[in-house]
Amino acid sequence: MAVKWWHRLKIYQVYPKSFKDSNQDGAGDIEGIINKIDYFEKLGINMIWLNPIYMSPQIDNGYDVADYYRIDPSFGTMADVERLLSEAHAHGIKVIFDFVVNHTSDQHPWFQEAITDLNSPYRDFYVFKAGKENGTLPPNNWQSFFGGSTWEKEPNGDLYYFHLFDKHMPDLNWANPDVRYEMTKIAKFWLAKGLDGFRVDAFIHIDKTAGYPDLDYLAPGEIGIAEEHYSNKPRVNQYMKEWRDAIREDYPDAFVIGEASSAHPGLANWYCDPDYGGCDAVITFRYFFERGEMKDHRLDWGFQEGEWDIEGFKHAMVEWQNAMAENGGPVLYLSNHDMARALTRFGTTNTANRSQCAKMLGAAMYLQKGIPLIYYGEEIGMQNLQFDSISDFPAADVHSFVARSHELGYADWKIISNLNQTHKLAARGLMQWTDEAPNVGFTSANQSTWIKANAENGFNVADQLKEEESIFYFYQKLLDLKKENLFLYGYWELVASETETYVYERRWDNERAFVLCNLSGQNKDVYVEVSPSWEIVIENDNNTVKNGKVSLAPYGVIVLKNR
């Protein structure tokens, strides 16, 4: 395996809007992040990733960019960004931004000129096509990820423009070399400011099937998700490699981590190949699966509560660990801004076992081979928000699920319960700096905020820092262990055990370690070949080891290492 500097990264995802409000307007900002640089350093983080802070109408929480060269005033100024970079670097922390490459906002100057001047060269920055039936129907039957057709009639002409996401987010035409040039120019602008790289959003969609053909298996009038035509197409890696190579001509250490939500291990290897790949690492959404027994097959599975498919998780980890071993391992995460928090969905938020479970999940995931990517608040045991009304959720996201649930006779309380358990908005609550209701130290107590918070005794930064055995300090120890070659580069192997336990071994030269995890709320015994000389390097509460028998408490974890 070729050793790369980024194999030693320990990344922390900051959702800026929810992290810290410095100017008391109810939304997080860059100054608030600057004020918490010491916090990142104390935890042991060496890179932070910020979700979009560019100028945006905020149709999709900043992923609809109106100007890549300007900071949205709601977050601060360019001077604030420059100070953030300076302060972070002074503390040994690198900074990456989200880089939205598949689409822009419809308010971006390129698109505004494209729809205002039908002869503008910016027309070819996007995808415009004639409709069917003399323009009365969209060009094809593809469905947007946000619902409805992928096509919208342009306001000043007769054609339709393509949008894979919201209609206010038209897709860029990466087949046009001028688009690729402009996206390179933007990236170099930020790297010149001192940025250390990018988390590249939705890059797997930048190539589409030529001609935009219909899905031939749909009935007339139907539309459908057409991933085979707009996900992981052959030119994706070509475009990404061209873009990355271009920015590395001037910035050879620029780090590129791509969001490849639907990528399987083979695709991830392709995207990260050192010779022809366009990424250094990728984030897949294919780690966590749910069993179908609790779900109504007439409804969208993604919005229904479900039981963790632990065997499916184990199988996924074996595939990803083996496939990505020569690339330093996969990106390791439990949660992010696009999914419910793992502690809520797959663990327990029961007060008696919550700390125990949070520690176990952290060790289970992050002591594997790969780059840890921690979602803000995970290190203090934050859980999903609990909303009281269906109207608290974005209508565009949940309309179809709610309507169909009502058709099938589901009561509102059950629909809300499903959404609180599964919806990504529930994972974006205010960072819990204190337990002081209602705003938990995020902003002043009397300021209304863009989203609510969980005010919880014990599960906040102030309380966690006072308690030596807290989740925070457990995470700090985990990240410290990730400095060791054993947990950084060591061989990974799953150890056979019963379904509700997760056991793996790490090996490096003469060093060995077993990571033993109980994923259930019951006591579990696991047997491993260790001698009395093996030491416990980290554990949570109430576990015992005797003659190779490891008795794990509910949600217990223990890491044994040879001396």
Q: What is the pLDDT of residues 76-117, one digit of tens each?
A: 999 999 999 999 999 999 999 999 999 999 999 999 999 999
pLDDT digits (tens, 9 = 90+) for 349-358: 998 999 999 9
Give the pLDDT of residue 338.
96
Strand residue runs (E) in 267-345 = 281-283, 331-333
Nearest to 12 by CA among 431, 537, 523: 431
Token pair in block for residue 541: 């509460």
Mean pLDDT across 315-336? 97
Token pair in block for residue 121: 């060269």
Distance CA 499, CA 82 (A): 49
pLDDT digits (tens, 9 = 90+) for 226-252: 999 999 999 999 999 999 999 999 999
Strand partners, 459: none
Contact, 56 vs 70, CB < 8 A? Answer: no
Nearest to 516 by CA among 543, 489, 535: 543
The model's confidence at residue 394, banded by pLDDT at 50, 70 and 90, is confident
Distance CA 296, CA 386 (A): 22
Token pair in block for residue 222: 């139907």
Give the pLDDT of residue 412.
97
Please determine, for residue 73, whether its predicted confidence score (pLDDT) is greater than 90.
yes
Cα dihedral 355, 358, 363, 366 in deg (nearest 10): -140
Nearest to 21 by CA among 11, 30, 12, 13: 30
Please determine, for residue 293, whether its predicted confidence score (pLDDT) is greater than 90.
no
Those residues whose C-beta lies under 8 Å from the C-beta of residue 71, and which sit 6 or more positions away, are 30, 53, 54, 55, 77, 78, 80, 81
Please determine, for residue 397, whether its predicted confidence score (pLDDT) is greater than 90.
no
Nearest to 33 by CA among 106, 111, 87, 107: 87
Distance CA 32, CA 22 (A): 5
Give the pLDDT of residue 129.
98
List, by residue number, the catalytic residues: 201, 259
Give the pLDDT of residue 395.
76
The amino acid at residue 119 is: N
Please determine, for residue 488, whether its predicted confidence score (pLDDT) is greater than 80.
yes
Contact, 460 vs 380, CB < 8 A? Answer: yes
Strand partners, 372: 332
pLDDT digits (tens, 9 = 90+) for 167-203: 999 999 999 999 999 999 999 999 999 999 999 999 9
Please determine, for residue 259, whether its predicted confidence score (pLDDT) is greater than 90.
yes
Nearest to 449 by CA among 378, 379, 385, 383: 385
Mean pLDDT across 157-162? 96
> Rounded to an integer, what is the distance from CA 4 to the centroid of its chain?
22
Least confident window among 259-268, 392-401, 414-423, 425-434: 392-401
Cα dihedral 313, 319, 322, 325 in deg (nearest 10): -80
Contact, 230 vs 174, CB < 8 A? Answer: no
> Positive or negative CA dihedral for 427, 351, 19, 455?
positive
Please determine, for residue 411, whether its predicted confidence score (pLDDT) is greater than 80.
yes
Radius of gyration (C-alpha) of the chain in whole angstroms: 24
Length of the chain: 563
- In the block, residue with structure tokens 């974890």: 557
Mean pLDDT across 143-158? 94
Give the pLDDT of residue 77.
98
Mean pLDDT across 207-230? 96
The DSSP code for 223 is: -
Distance CA 506, CA 99 (A): 35
Distance CA 144, CA 224 (A): 8
Of the chain, the end-to-end C-alpha distance in Å amounts to 26
SS3 call for 311: helix
The DSSP code for 530 is: -
pTM for the complete prediction? 0.97
Give the pLDDT of residue 1.
79
Contact, 538 vs 363, CB < 8 A? Answer: yes
Strand partners, 546: 549
Nearest to 19 by CA among 456, 462, 451, 463: 451
Give 377-395 as a DSSP string: TGGGT------S-GGGS-H
Give the pLDDT of residue 225.
95
Cα dihedral 495, 500, 501, 504 in deg (nearest 10): 40
Integer angstrom CA distances of residue 206 from 103, 114, 162, 328:
9, 19, 12, 26
Give the pLDDT of residue 563.
85
Helix (H) or strand (E) run with residue 319 in it: helix 310-323
pLDDT digits (tens, 9 = 90+) for 431-447: 999 999 999 999 998 99
The amino acid at residue 130 is: A
Token pair in block for residue 442: 């995020």
Cα dihedral 478, 344, 462, 94 in deg (nearest 10): 50
Give the pLDDT of residue 292.
87
pLDDT digits (tens, 9 = 90+) for 4-30: 999 999 999 999 999 999 999 999 999
Distance CA 557, CA 552 (A): 7
Distance CA 510, CA 50 (A): 39
